[in-house]
Chains A and B, each alone.
Chain A
Amino acid sequence: MTRAFFALLARDLRLAARIGGSGVMGLVFFLMILTLVPFALGPDLNLLARIGPAILWIAALLSTLIGLDRLFQADEEDGSLDLITASPLPMAATVLAKVTAHWLTTGAPLALVSPVFGLLVALDGIGMLAVAATLFVGTPALTFIGAVGAALTATIRRGGLILSILVLPLMIPTLIFGVSAANAARGGTVPFTTPFLILIAITLISGLIATIAAAAALKQGE
């Protein structure tokens, strides 16, 4: 069973690398949004620095949606899900393997490059580190929540838009605590750990609930 889990994880990582798909696209999209904001707001560095973490988080949130619609749909379409159903791997473990692979190719790279992209919104050193840390623990929650939508829309053609509408409201708590943790790190009355720990809790809870929910949705889907 463990072997099936890692085989699925490895296959999805290999597919992501080979098609060069959503991971790279997500990063490019992330960079695009960050480039647009300074153009829209004008060269006010203080303003940019103040809202920088928020912009980075919104950009990351939107980038997470890229490629999410194909998470289960691709396997549903080509019949791979039929093969996966016949394996002794429980559906929840299947979801966990696929979400992990998806996060490693989309969410994790976003967190890794966010300090560099933070330059575009005039973030200082502490701010960059704080944003990277919050994205690192917060983007798994985004991917998990998105996976539920992806499982629900797996059989719907062009389900991408419905998926976004379904999952974006559910991502709001993650966004709130991600941004407030990043802001708290740069000074203020709230200590950094308070919102940061809540963010970790959100990730863990969404990981548990979303895995079960997505598995149930996939079992229903036909």
Chain B
Amino acid sequence: MSGDPANTPAADRRGGAGPALHLSVHDLACRRSGRLVFAGLGFALGPGDALLVTGRNGAGKSTLLAILAGRLRAAAGRIALSGAGEATLPERLHWIAHRDGLKTALSARENLAFAAAMLGEERFAPHDALERVGLPHVVDMPVAYLSAGQRRRVALARLLVAHRPIWLLDEPTSALDAASQEMLYELMREHRAAGGIIIAATHLPLPLDGAQSLAIAAPQPGSQAQGAAAAPDWDDWEIGDVSRASAGRRGDP
């Protein structure tokens, strides 16, 4: 971790020319409107790693991504990012949430140009990115006219217009047809080969070779806290009303 060149664009270019990025999360807990969503989550990811977050509906997969993206605050735990210079975690990641984040009144090109300007570190021009996701014909069409799958692909094209080493993908394959899913898998392979990190929340199996897996157990009202080896350090922990999320890690590459 040679600190100072981390922020220069040259060091940040993909291919891992800069210091390697490491993301580690310890004992993460989240509480929303008084209810414990999950607790004790932890993982560590290095360049080229991928993490598959699984769990039932409402288990807190999207919540975990929102915490990493800086939109929600964790109740407890620690998120550490090394090798990113002074940049914070939200500034180093792409977040493709379940909402596409597109303005329907603007064309696909305008949406992507806006995303590139907001995120910085441009890579592909909007037109080239759309070509890559198989939508060269909708470049100047308002997003309102596009189908759900096409909108999803425009949102995924954001991954290409700006370079961010960490990708947070929330159900990335939703509404995508088979060919588009293949396209997405190819993008993910390329990103990992270039030293990128992928964290994907999904129900469907994604072909991420050697990916770590994080299963967030569905919260069950009144369930006993089990296997609390890592002592939780949040304040008002009550056994009766606790929904325990157990985090498992398997298949390290």
Residues of A within 8 A of B (CB): 3-4, 7-8, 11, 14-15, 18-19, 77-80, 82-89, 222
User: What A residues does B103 contact at CB under 8 A?
Assistant: 11, 15, 78, 80
Residues of B within 8 A of A (CB): 32, 66, 69-72, 87, 90-91, 93-95, 97-106, 110, 113-115, 117-120, 158, 164
The CA of A78 and the CA of B114, in the complex, are separated in Å by 15
The CA of A7 and the CA of B100, in the complex, are separated in Å by 19
Min distance, Cβ A124 to any Cβ of chain B, angstroms:
42
| Given A3-B117, A8-B118: A78 touches B104 (CB 8 Å cut-off) | yes
Nearest first, the 6 closest Cβ-Cβ pairs linking A and B are A79-B99, A7-B117, A79-B101, A87-B118, A83-B101, A18-B105
Contact A82 B72 (CB under 8 A): no
Min distance, Cβ A3 to any Cβ of chain B, angstroms:
6
The CA of A89 and the CA of B119, in the complex, are separated in Å by 9
The CA of A156 and the CA of B194, in the complex, are separated in Å by 42
User: What B residues does A84 contact at CB under 8 A?
Assistant: 118
Nearest to B113 among chain A residues (CB) is A7
Give me 13 other A-B pairs in contact (C-beta within 8 A), A7-B114, A8-B114, A78-B102 excluded.
Answer: A15-B106, A18-B106, A78-B100, A79-B99, A82-B97, A82-B101, A83-B158, A84-B118, A85-B90, A86-B91, A86-B119, A86-B164, A88-B120
Contact B104 A83 (CB under 8 A): no
Min distance, Cβ B49 to any Cβ of chain A, angstroms:
20
User: What A residues does B87 contact at CB under 8 A?
Assistant: 88
User: What B residues does A88 contact at CB under 8 A?
Assistant: 87, 91, 120
Q: Which of A3, A14, A78, A89 contacts B101 (CB 8 A)?
A: A78
17 A-B Cβ contacts within 8 A?
A8-B118, A11-B110, A78-B100, A79-B98, A79-B102, A80-B101, A80-B102, A82-B69, A82-B71, A82-B99, A83-B101, A83-B115, A85-B71, A86-B69, A86-B94, A86-B164, A87-B119
